[in-house]
A = this chain, B = another copy of it.
Amino acid sequence: MEIPHWLEKRAFLSPNQTAIQLTDGTTISFANLRQDAVTFAGKLIGCGVKCGDRIALLSSNSYQMVVAIHAMTYINCSVVLLNTRLSGTEWQFQYDDAACTYLLYEDIYEADIKNLTVSSRDTYSLTAIEKQKETSFNIPTEMDLEQIFTILYTSGTTGFPKGVQLTYGNHFWSAVSSALNLGLHKQDRWLATLPLFHVGGLSILIRSTVYGIPVHLHTKYSKQAIHRDIMDQGITIVSVVTVMLEELLGELGEQNYPSSMRCMLLGGGPVPRPLLEKCKKKGVPVFQTYGMTETSSQIVTLSHEDALHKLGSAGKALFTAQVKIVKEGKKLEPNDIGEIMVKGPMVTRGYYKREEANKEAFQNGWLHTGDLGYLDEDGYLYVVDRRKDLIVSGGENVYPAEIESVLKELDSVKDAGVVGITDKKWGQVPVAFIVQAGSKHSQDINQLKTFCKDRLAKYKIPKKFFFVDELPRNASKKLLRRELLEWVKREED
């Protein structure tokens, strides 16, 4: 099925509306964004890029990157968005795996890409593209919703990243489904500080185009800059992850957000209860969500109202989406923990060239998320843990998130990360990494254990505590438990 090309249409409907506002106050209208994207597309075509190509793009958030992403829709090629924090080896893997024919990069990565095995003929900095001659081409008026638009790599339990293919349709339905949940106001302004190379950031760009609302694009994460934008710039929605929300509350201090700030969309993993309670007390409108690259961002979202009596839940599946809990092929009853399965028009049709993985992941249109959770009797989803982090100790299931959440309740604990290590007797046991609040050495391990003992079954209490300055987190601030496991090894050597 086709719909009008989304940027062509938006520039036609709302030419003078702001599409992008940068932190220095610069604004770009939809008409100008459209013109820049068409020009950029013409230059890419001049470089030999053609319909159906897969183009790798290595860039941090910038207007240039926004233009480059939209330009792809004019040529109808797919864009492989590379995570800027990865190593060269990892970039190379994705470039090769997706059989890319071009690599575009932000100029600051000039040195980093030197060692990649990519023909220099097919490698351009974004600025180099801008200097090319423009080739004229037929500007498309429509988009085929079935066409692959983005390929975003995500790691799995196997350790080999897989390319999640998302169509125009996936992105479009995601935007529509979010609007049916959050509403859509004329004066909406969505703040994007999450990287655009992750689906959480990218989806804001698409929503902006589909809704005709401005994106306040932050080129790098700064709690002060976000705080200022919310307080002074009429921001109505911000997408955040837990650690950002914690920092923003710190910035907020005794103040309150303006009432126009109507949604703090909180994704990217488990949220400690105390944080939600604090937001509730401060009147910060948190909407907890659950989603992943495979679902084009949120697929389950908890409304602000429900946050009050469903604390800790990720909410209900969006209007066009469905969620169910299964174990050994059977759908479970409320409150029984099993694997979360999802279905909906925003869900990927599959990983790029991964027949085997796709066969395992999909069943009658439902996607196995690999995550564990349950639905309560009202149908609210509780994500218990991402399956790959599951610790099995003496036959009992131990969920790291649960332990971390308990540890973070302590004022003396600023951050906590838990992983399972091999244990002769129990198979696995949990160990904890602690970032202390305030002065170091203040922490007493016995005190920690006692605190846990009061709140957790004995087998869930970390067998070891390591004190560290910071936890390893990725660009979206998600805890990297794999890294923690490396740290354990080092500590034990």
Identify the A interface with B (CB < 8 A).
Answer: 1-4, 9-10, 12-13, 141-142, 176, 179-180, 183-186, 210-212, 316-317, 319-322, 344-345, 365, 379
Contacts and interface: CB of A to CB of B under 8 A. Distances in A.
A321 B12 contact: no
A320 B184 contact: no
A12 B320 contact: no
B210 A180 contact: yes
Top 9 closest pairs, chain A to chain B, by CB: A184-B184, A3-B320, A183-B184, A176-B176, A183-B186, A4-B322, A183-B185, A13-B316, A9-B319
A63 to B, nearest CB: 24
A304 to B, nearest CB: 10
A89 to B, nearest CB: 40
Contacts of A10: 319
A180 B211 CA distance: 6
A268 B179 CA distance: 28
A343 to B, nearest CB: 8
Nearest to A6: B319
Contacts of A179: 179-180, 184
A168 to B, nearest CB: 12
A345 B13 contact: no
Contacts of A319: 3-4, 9-10, 13, 210
Nearest to A344: B3
Given A13-B316, A176-B176, A316-B12, A321 B184 contact: no
Contacts of A317: 4
Contacts of A2: 365
Nearest to A379: B12
Nearest to A187: B183
Contacts of A210: 180, 319
A12 B10 CA distance: 33
A382 to B, nearest CB: 16
Contacts of A3: 319-320, 344-345
A187 to B, nearest CB: 9
A12 B318 CA distance: 11
B180 A320 contact: no
Nearest to A321: B4
Given A4-B317, A180-B212, 12 more contacts: A2-B365, A3-B345, A4-B321, A4-B322, A10-B319, A12-B379, A13-B319, A176-B176, A179-B180, A183-B184, A183-B186, A184-B184
Residue from the set A186, A319, A322, A379 with the largest chain B CB neighbour count within 10 Å: A319
Contacts of A212: 180
Nearest to A172: B320
A322 B2 CA distance: 11
A83 to B, nearest CB: 31
Contacts of A316: 12-13
A13 B180 CA distance: 11
Contacts of A185: 183, 185
B345 A1 contact: yes
A428 to B, nearest CB: 32
Nearest to A315: B13
